[in-house]
Structure 1
Amino acid sequence: MSVNVPGFKSSVVFDQIEKALQSETVKKETINKTKGVFELGIKNAEGKEQIWTLDLKKEGTVKTGKAGKADCTIKMDDAVFIEIASGKLNSQKAFMTGKMKITGNIMLSTKLNNVLELAPRSKL
C-alpha cells in the first residue's frame, strides 16, 4: 500500500523513508538508533489531516493511518513538516514556537531528525 496521499506535500518524505527502509541494512540501523513508534498527524492547506505511522521499534515500516500504540505522537502543518524535513526549520524551534505539538515520549521526538535524513533533501 502506498504512503503517498494526494494533497499532502509530506507524502514525498514518507515515500522516500519507506524506500530507504527497504534496505535491510538501513532498516536494522534505523530501528537500533530509534527504538520507537512515531505517529505523525499532518494537516494540509485545506485543513484535512492525514496520519502516518513509522514503526521503528520492531517492523521498520511506514504506513498511513494509525497502527497500534505510538510511543510519540507529533502534529503539525504540512508546510512546517516540509521545512523541518528539508532542514530549513529546526524541529526544537518548531516545538518551542508552537508549530509542532508532541505527546507521549518527548525524548523520542529528538530522534525524528535522524529518520528524516533517510529522505534526500534534494527531492523536497
Structure 2
Amino acid sequence: MSDATIDKLKDRFDAEAASGMQEVFQFHFNDAGDYYLVVDDGTLEVHEGEHDDPSVSLSMSSDTLKGVMSGEINGMTAFMTGKLKATGNVMLATQLSHLFPGH
C-alpha cells in the first residue's frame, strides 16, 4: 500500500458519515502489509500494523480496495467471489463506500 493510497483515504473521508461511529477497520493486504483505520465520531486515524481488537478485519489486495472505494467493484461481490475476506462485524465493511465516497 503506497502512502498515496493512504492519503487518498484521508482526503475522501466523510466526517459527517462517520458522526457517532466508533469502529476500527483492520486491513490485511496480501501485497502491501497491514493497516488499520480508527474511526471515532467523525475523525480518522490511519496506522500501520495490527490492532489488538478491530471491529472488522478485511483481507484483500490493495487493488481490490481501490476498486471497492471507487465503486468499480461491488463489495458484496468481492466477498462472494473470495477477493475479499472479512471477519468480525462484516456489515461494517458495507459502510466503507459511505465513509470514503468517490469524488
Task: Give the TM-score band, short-chain normalised.
Answer: 0.7 to 0.9
Instruction: Determine helix, strand or coil for the equivalent of 1:111.
Output: helix
Question: Is the Cα contact below 8 Å between 1:39 and 1:66 reproduced in 2?
Answer: yes
Give structure 1 stretches of 5+ with no counterpart.
Answer: 1-7
Match of 1:86 among 70, 73, 92: 70
Q: Report matched runs for 1:63-78 at 5 Å.
A: 63-78=47-62
Larger strand fraction of residues: 2
Aligned to 2:33: 50
Larger Rg: 1
Identity of aligned residues (%): 25
Pairs aligned (count): 102
Aligned to 1:12: 4
Give structure 2 stretches of 5+ with no counterpart.
Answer: none
Match of 1:105 among 89, 97, 103: 89
Structure 1 segments, 4+ long, off by >6 Å, are: none
CA distance in 2, matches of 1:101, 1:32: 26
Deviation, structure 1 residue 31: 2.9
Deviation, structure 1 residue 20: 5.1
Deviation, structure 1 residue 97: 0.5
Instruction: Determine helix, strand or coil for the equivalent of 1:13.
Output: helix
Q: Which moved more, 1:84-93 or 1:60-69?
A: 60-69
TM-score, structure 2 as length reference: 0.79
